[in-house]
Structure 1
Amino acid sequence: MLGVTLAILLQAAVTGDTTTDYNTAFKSANETGKPMLVLVGTDWCPACVTMKQSVMPRLLRAGRLSGVVYTEVNADAQPTIARKIMSGGGYPQLAMYRKTKDGWKRQILIGVQSESTIKTLVDRAVEAQEAETEDKLEVIPVSK
């Protein structure tokens, strides 16, 4: 597994691509328990281009997405996946998925978002995920 991770990191370093494909991201989120943040957009949408080329890279470089698994879905290249993720029309859409005891929960933001809005979304999802994990690991005191 370490070899695969290193290969992905090396490829990202060479190509400058810091995102993983959706299936890999989902698998990682499922295995690690981290929330998953998905940017759904297109190449022809100016707002999508802004999110993909400016906003999200700044957050990634600043380490603001380290608590989540991040991926991007191109709605033109991957329409089936995009339709399943999106909530109605409009691009771009940011979908935050968080695994709970009742299944995956989703929160959607539509349109260009500020770095502070995305950071708040990420922070809340990470905090909620940690609280969910702590509930599962609750220590029951043993009576003497």
Structure 2
Amino acid sequence: MLGITMAILLQVSAVGDSTADYNTAFKDASETGKPMLVLVGTDWCPACVTMKQSIIPRLQRAGRLSGVVYTEVDADAQPRIAHRIMSGGGYPQLALYRKTKDGWRRQILVGVQSESTIQTLVDRAVAAQESEANKLEVLPISQ
């Protein structure tokens, strides 16, 4: 029995948690320039559980979220952070933040979202981020 328990613990630790906490994710997004995708939900919300346990993990396994920093915020455990992120009521909310020269831009999706909708949101944010990063600053030549 102990051997089975140890094998399970080792397997869980080897797989690891695929989500960073909010502060770590924000720091990573700030430093790398990657957009940040945040799922705000609760454990009692069936739609949140679907997003958290089914839809997001499928996207992660397929490598579809590699262009963003992903994290989850439990609205019951972290109400202050959740309130700052959310746009009105309703769970789950998927917020995508993209750093621009004018500050962070946010897009919100409310409710259960399909993989294709999330993928489109992520692809557009990554493309916009890359486009902004590739813009060359033109400086006048002084004489």
Separation in 2, partners of 1:51, 1:122: 15
Residue equivalent to 2:52: 52
* TM-fit CA distance, 1:17: 2.0
Map of 2:114 onto structure 1? 114
One-letter amino acid of the structure 2 residue matched with residue 82 of structure 1? A
Shift of 1:14: 3.4
1:23-77, Cα deviation, whole Å (9 max, x unpaired): 0000000000000000000000000000000000000000000000000000000
Q: Which runs of 4+ in 1 moved over 6 A?
A: none
Is 1:29 the counterpart of 2:60? The answer is no
What is the count of residue pairs matched by the alignment?
Answer: 131
Paired residue secondary structure (1:72): strand
TM-score, scaled relative to structure 2: 0.86
Tell me the alpha carbon deviations over residues 59-100 of structure 1, each in whole angstroms, 9 at most, x when there is no partner: 000000000000000000000000000000000000000000
Larger radius of gyration: 2
| Runs of at least 5 residues in structure 1 that lack an aligned partner in the other structure | 1-9
Q: Which residue of 2 aligns with 1:5?
A: none
State the distance in 1 between where 2:138 and 2:43 align. 49
Q: Which residue of 2 aligns with 1:18?
A: 18
Taking structure 1 as the reference length, the TM-score comes to: 0.85
1:130 Cα offset (Å): 0.5
Q: RMSD between aligned alpha carbons?
A: 2.0
